[in-house]
Amino acid sequence: MSLVRVHNFSISLDGYATGDGQTMEAPFGHAGMRLMEWFGGTKTFRTMSGREGGSLGVENGLASAWGPGIGAEIMGRNKFGPQRGPWTDEEWRGWWGDNPPFHTPVFVLTHHPRPSIEMEGGTTFHFIDASPEEALRQARKAAGDLDVRIGGGPTVVREFLAGDLIDYLHLAVVPIVLGRGVRLWDGLEGLEERFVVESTTAPSGVTHLTFSRR
């Protein structure tokens, strides 16, 4: 059975995975890029975004588990773009450039389905209005024997956790207090009982936790 995995998912100390006020220019709202700074410097991220260099080391080690063995991703609509409601601009093809870093089918959860978009490099965005269970069924079919990654944002990860659909969660807790935005944790009382939890702190001050299904 293929696994369902979340990688490099960053939250603030107060549990926000994105800030308030997402716009085209500010995908994480008032949080800016602060939640992703630890990731931005890694070799994994730089390779993913077509650049050279980047750090090796503990955080890159954790970050690099993101790609191998993944056959499809499921993401929330606001990881694709900032629009709410009916699509008004179908020309714009998301935040991820012509050659997105996913290189697999990507299922974008939205209440407003639209035709699929085939990008360069193997990424195809499918826009589906589906429950977590149904989205996972479609993603598993697309992934074949490979695993499915839940790409975020926080609402999607929370729903999949609440539905007990996630086998592995790598969480990066960044030592900042965002104060507002979208929280991961609401309604997940007792989550730890289903997982073996490990944690390690990196010199960046970020604490990395892994939740592996028992």
Q: Is 70 helix (H, G, I), strand (E, B) or coil?
A: strand
CA distances from 54 to 9, 79, 101 (A): 19, 24, 16
> By C-alpha distance, which of 101, 140, 139, 138 is closest to 120?
101
- How many other CB atoms sit within 10 Å of the CB of residue 186? 12
- Backbone φ and ψ of 211, nearest 5°: -110, 115
Paired tokens of 19: 């800030």
> Could you tell me if 153 and 74 are in contact, meaning their C-beta atoms sit under 8 angstroms apart?
no
Point out which span in 123-131, 134-142, 149-157, 172-180 binds its own copies (CB under 8 A). 172-180
Work out whether 162 is an interface residue with its own copies (CB under 8 A): no
Q: Does 113 bind its own copies (CB under 8 A)?
A: no
Residue 163 interacting with its own copies (CB under 8 A) = no
Q: Out of 112, 118, 121, 200, name the contact with its own copies by CB under 8 A.
A: 200
The bridge status of strand 16-18 relative to strand 182-183 is antiparallel
Choose which of 197, 212, 213, 214 interacts with its own copies (CB under 8 A). Answer: 197
Q: To the nearest 10°, report the CA torsion of 54, 207, 197, 146.
A: -20
Question: Which residue from 58, 114, 116, 185 is in contact with its own copies, where contact means CB under 8 A?
Answer: 185
**Does residue number 14 form part of the binding site for its own copies (CB under 8 A)?**
yes
Considering only residues 13, 40, 84, 101, which one is a binding residue for its own copies as defined by CB under 8 A? 13
Residue 196: CB minimum distance to its own copies, A: 10
- Per the rule left: phi > 0, alpha: psi between -120 and 50, beta: everything else, 94 is left
**Rule CB under 8 A: is residue 207 a binding residue for its own copies?**
yes
By CB under 8 A, the count of residues binding its own copies is: 26
Q: How far is the CB of 17 from its own copies (least distance, A)?
A: 12
- Give the one residue of 179, 182, 212, 213 binding its own copies; rule: CB under 8 A: 179
Single out the residue of 15, 57, 67, 97 in contact with its own copies (rule: CB under 8 A).
15
Q: Would you say the C-alpha torsion 47, 50, 52, 54 has a positive or negative sign?
A: negative
Q: Does 164 bind its own copies (CB under 8 A)?
A: no
* Residues within window 34-53 making contact with its own copies, judged by CB under 8 A: none
Query: Which residues lie near its own copies (CB under 8 A)?
Result: 13-15, 173, 175-180, 185-192, 197-201, 205, 207, 209
